Amino acid sequence: MKKAFSIIVFLLVTFDSFGFAQKKDPVRLLIFSYTQKYRHKSIETGIVALEKLAKEKGYLIEKTENVNDFTNDNLKRFKVLIFLNPTGSNIFSDEQKKAFQAFIRNGGGFVGIHAATDCNYEWEWYGKLVGAFFADHPKIQEAKLNVLKRSHPSTKGFPKEWLHKDEWYNFKDFNKNVNVLISVDEQSYTGGKMKDFHPISWYHEFDGGKAFYTALGHTDECYTDKLFLKHITGGIEYVIKK
């Protein structure tokens, strides 16, 4: 009996000494919400919601509006970059762009929320990563969303149609290689300019990493909407998974 017990203890110690029994490091998220031009009032509400989400999921989360945080040494600490309503052009220096690209090329995840398409217009690589650039929008109003893929983590269990009030972006330079999750029915509101097919959320693998984008998220109310928060949570989970 003593011999059997000793063998078990030896195996457990050996198993742990090789690191097999040790807990994995927590997933780290970085929220980037720098604004050069228009600043969404919902940024602060969004940060609170994302911090709550991270706590529930066991993620570690940090926030920044400092472009100088885009260095190789700093970004390698994170698994996901969340662009929460940033705005402006020529935000990053060449070295900061290289660090951002290295992060993605090393398997990093990118989550873009709403105005993530309203920045870095001069940077073609970023446009392909986020999937499109903002062109214009009509007034805030309710519209009907068509959920096209309901097996993705960000839309799993969603109804086929979803009524939601938001600011509906029209896009330019749309990357046709993305996988569209949700479209908005332009017949259900006024001001749509993309005719028969108006993507509003999508995902794809890009340049070694993974990206998820949703045009939803303009208003404070979005960040207390259970369906929207489920949408964001699933998007984060998608870019984390290998």
10-residue stretch averages of pLDDT, the chain, 242 residues long:
43 42 80 95 98 97 98 98 97 98 98 98 98 98 98 97 98 97 98 96 98 98 98 98 84
Tokens of 165: 């009030």
C-alpha 172/C-alpha 117 separation (Å) is: 10
Domain membership of residue 5 (yes or no) is no
pLDDT given at position 11: 41
Residue 231: inside a domain, yes or no? Answer: yes
- Domain-located, residue 221: yes
What residues make up the domain containing 96?
Answer: 26-240
| Residue at 16 is within a domain | no
Task: Say if CB 146 and CB 182 are below 8 A apart.
Answer: yes
pLDDT at 14: 41
pLDDT at 25 (0 to 100): 86
Query: φ, ψ for residue 228 (rounded to 5)?
Result: -65, -45
Sign of the four-CA dihedral 68, 74, 76, 82: negative
pTM comes to 0.90
Q: Is residue 169 part of a domain?
A: yes
Contact residues for 120 (Cβ-Cβ < 8 A; gap 6+)? 89, 91, 92, 126, 127, 130
Residue 166, pLDDT score: 98
Confirm whether 17 is domain-assigned: no
CATH at residue 105: 3.40.50.880
Number of domains in the chain: 1
Residue at 6 is within a domain: no
pLDDT at position 23: 64
Residue 10 inside a domain? The answer is no
